[in-house]
Amino acid sequence: MGWNLVAGANRLFARRGGNYPNGMPEERLPEGKIPPRVLREMLERLGEGAGLEVGPAAGEDAAVVPSASEPRLVLAADPVTFPTADPGWHAVIVNANDVAATGGECRWFLSHVLAPPGTAGNRIAEIADGIRRGCEEVGAVPAGGHTEITAAVEREVVAGTMVGVATAERVKPSGGAREGDMLVVTKGVAIEATAIVAAERKDEVRREFGEDFQRRAAAFLTDPGISVVEEARVAAGLLEVHALHDVTEGGIATAVREMADAAELGAVLAEAEIPRFYESKRLLAHFGLDILGAIGSGALLIACAEPETGELLDRLQGAGTPGYLIGRFLRRSSGIQLARGSVRRDLPVFDADELTRLA
């Protein structure tokens, strides 16, 4: 899922219902990803997705529709709501990531483009070109959608739905990890956060780090890139890979917690083994942001049986995407911890992505 600052909350009544007839809090929700308690309430209202192999659930990247004959359909939807020069392309990639991170191959993309009054016609054409380029990149076909000029938005919003296909053995839900599985991450953390900060704070970054640094960091969307489609394709082909999950809002700490919670497991991460790009470390430290909680599209988490981890890393390297062994899934009672040498502490919890604190 992409950078979608929809809503967040600090608290919710401990029991469903509270003093409100609809069971939801009266307070206004501040900007940020909705917290788990509110999400659980919403999912209860949506239902379990009757008849789905993988239905709506916290941490799951896509839904999977079972089929008596192959293949299954894999469905994902996500918007791009933050300022970006190429929202059409960006929307395709974040939706493709969700399909790929469930083991699917992208096939069709539906787009919903909302633009504010005063938007020029050639800007709509640019968004359409971005959608086409993104689809070509991931192997999908633009299948239509809706485009509208509306005062309901102050800037461009491109929402999308990606439809893919997957055979039964390639379906790898986020909650599929097993006790003892090794945890691998590809590329590095905070890739998308690095690009966003470099673009949104362009002048300050150039003053502090120089023009070349700023350009390099802003280009992280494409190099190392926010797509995980290729590495997901490699990982899904291994029988002993049990779960995949792409790192998005809330960074790697939130993504690991989502995987562990979905599988009802604990986990331990070796802090020193978590890969960080030089630009990401410098940039996020300068703005006082925790790199573990910053949006990280471009990194894929993989749960793999220990005996097959070496083969997984070799295949990823052969495909041009390095993988790094960063931890292990444990029994639930072990909790979710971050290890620095022999010292362990609870993995930080981020109620909202670190970029919401960007001053």
pLDDT digits (tens, 9 = 90+) for 243-288: 999 999 899 999 999 999 999 999 999 999 999 999 999 999 999 9
**198 and 286 fall within a common domain:** yes
Single residue among 119, 148, 170 that ends a domain in this structure = 170
Domain end residue (candidates: 170, 191, 221): 170
What is the structure's pLDDT at 21? 46
The SS3 assignment for 102 reads coil
- Asked if 269 and 129 sit in the same domain, the reply is no
Domain-terminating residue out of 111, 141, 170: 170
Boundaries of domain holding 244: 174-357
CA distance 263 to 32: 25
Residue 24 lies inside a defined structural domain of this protein: no
Asked whether residue 91 falls in the same domain as residue 236, the answer is no
pLDDT digits (tens, 9 = 90+) for 115-164: 999 999 999 999 999 999 999 999 999 999 999 999 999 999 999 999 99
52 and 130 part of one domain: yes
Global pTM value: 0.88
Q: Which of 298, 174, 310 is nearest to 242 (CA)?
A: 174
The answer, yes or no, to whether residue 34 has pLDDT greater than 60, is yes
Residue 13: the pLDDT is 24
> What is the per-residue pLDDT for 16?
32
pLDDT at 27: 66
Q: Do 223 and 117 fall within a single domain?
A: no
> Distance (Å, rounded) from C-alpha 4 to C-alpha 8?
11
Give the Cα separation of 174 and 344 in Å (integer).
25
pLDDT of residue 58: 75
Which among 148, 67, 161, 72 has a CA at the least distance from the CA of 114?
148
Q: Is the same domain home to 214 and 318?
A: yes
**H helices within the chain, ranges in order?**
36-46, 87-100, 121-138, 191-200, 202-209, 211-218, 229-236, 251-263, 278-286, 309-318
Asked if 326 and 207 sit in the same domain, the reply is yes
User: Do 135 and 248 fall into the same domain?
Assistant: no
Q: Please state whether beta strands 182-186 and 105-115 pair in parallel, antiparallel, or not at all (unpaired).
A: unpaired
